[in-house]
Structure 1
């Protein structure tokens, strides 16, 4: 049985994180992988180990970029190859993060029934790099709430989403003009044009990595989010509050931000 879905995984010098991520994919149907190595020098994509680890759970495709160009380039390289193939759905997963069993089955089942929904995320456990639970990220579920709150921050855990390949023909790929916030800009474009939702169940573990883009490039990411909001600005409460909130975040570290979220969600 050919796979309906391919999971796109950008890779950069994180062998253990990659193996952990692909080990977490446990479905009752084939799930193909598209792995793009973003110019690793020290820990080049361990192709033999990945193939041995993943076994017969699906087809594995690779691309190794000659130099490090950033996650946006890696993601778009993968999408360029995927769009030429016959996949109905595209999923995302990052090295170190983990899917729960049957995550993709639940999302695809929902999308098959709800044809108007083009992108579907999930809730997630937020875990620190020492495997300590921090909180559960319960993003808004309905499209109406998502569309409003996208002006505050992304309403999707990036590696939780799957989306219909067909939307790429109109939305395009990840934009390169919003460094460290390519996913936010990409999702904003989708939400403004199509119906998008979150599946109201915790279906993955998202690891807060101190070496991740969100940690190392936090200020650049927040500045890019502000640019996205301004590019999609309208006169209203959510766009104005979103601008104020993100300007305030420039003054707060991610550690402090996560502590505040943890207190609020308990």
Structure 2
């Protein structure tokens, strides 16, 4: 039985090189006791994504694939993969990101030696097609107050104890979690008394395309995130303090794109 299960979901893959690089970064880990599940979330591209991930699975016997005929979103996909997972530790990998060769080893070692933490993530380099352009900074020991501005964890860098995910029934599948399933999960974990830690090493490379002309998120997604924030801060008994932060994603969505580009560039 593998100790670690790496889960990855993909939908209508448009860049096979990025997907391959992401998978290869797991294959090339210094830690070898893992399995990987790649989930095709109902891609509508005449079988191209399905065929390609099957080719990737042939690269390493520890990789298996799941084909879903319908697209249900990330929360549903991740729950399906967790059901199939055999590892005592579960971690994600985005299909266009890259893990440092020692990422799994460092996270397994941390969880093995720090039973007080339910999960562990890392800080990361931020990159796009032009290379590294920023850094994803996170507090080492997040508290409930750390949730106010943004999620205090970089979700695809996080490794969870399997039993902890089972305790909260995994990801919540709902309309408001379609683009914020990770933030919602961390809220629910902390509300149950679980805590996480961020290793202050660049063990992950997180892709963010910082294009001054591209609108990143529709207002509908921002409204749904506001709902996740409302439920989260309510569970923390922090509604009064959280009100400005509940409406934050909506207010940011009203900022002209060129200004938002500059803000984002300064953020990382």
User: Fold-level match, TM-score > 0.5?
Assistant: yes
> Residues 28-39 of structure 1 correspond to what in structure 2 (within 5 A)?
28-39=31-42
Question: In the alignment, which residue of structure 1 is the partner of 2:156?
Answer: 159
Contact 2:88 2:161 in 1 (8 A): yes
* Cα distance, 1:131 vs structure 2: 3.1
Pair 1:52–1:5, CA change in 2 (3 A): same
Q: 2:49 aligns with which of 44, 51, 59?
A: 44
TM-score, scaled relative to structure 1: 0.85
Question: How far apart, in 2, do the equivalents of 1:215 and 1:170 lie?
Answer: 37
Contact 1:34 1:62 in 2 (8 A): yes
Contact 2:179 2:221 in 1 (8 A): yes
* Cα distance, 1:120 vs structure 2: 0.9
Question: In the alignment, which residue of structure 2 is the partner of 1:246?
Answer: 249
Question: How far apart, in 2, do the equivalents of 1:78 and 1:261 lie?
Answer: 32
Q: 2:75 aligns with which of 51, 72, 81?
A: 72
Q: Secondary structure at the match of 1:94?
A: coil
Question: How far apart, in 2, do the equivalents of 1:195 and 1:170 lie?
Answer: 14
Question: How far apart, in 1, do the equivalents of 2:146 and 2:248 lie?
Answer: 12
Question: How far apart, in 1, do the equivalents of 2:261 and 2:140 lie?
Answer: 21
Q: Secondary structure at the match of 2:49?
A: coil
RMSD: 2.5
TM-score, scaled relative to structure 2: 0.85
Question: In the alignment, which residue of structure 1 is the partner of 2:30?
Answer: 27
Question: In the alignment, which residue of structure 2 is the partner of 1:191?
Answer: 190
Question: In the alignment, which residue of structure 1 is the partner of 2:205?
Answer: 205
| Alignment: residue pair count | 253
Please list the CA deviations of residues 13-39 of structure 1 after superposition, one character each: whole Å capped at 9, or x if unmatched. 223332111111222323210111011
Please list the CA deviations of residues 212-263 of structure 1 after superposition, one character each: whole Å capped at 9, or x if unmatched. xx96544333222211221133346751331243332121367744532432
Question: In the alignment, which residue of structure 1 is the partner of 2:124?
Answer: 124
Structure 2 unaligned spans of 5+:
none
Pair 1:210–1:196, CA change in 2 (3 A): same
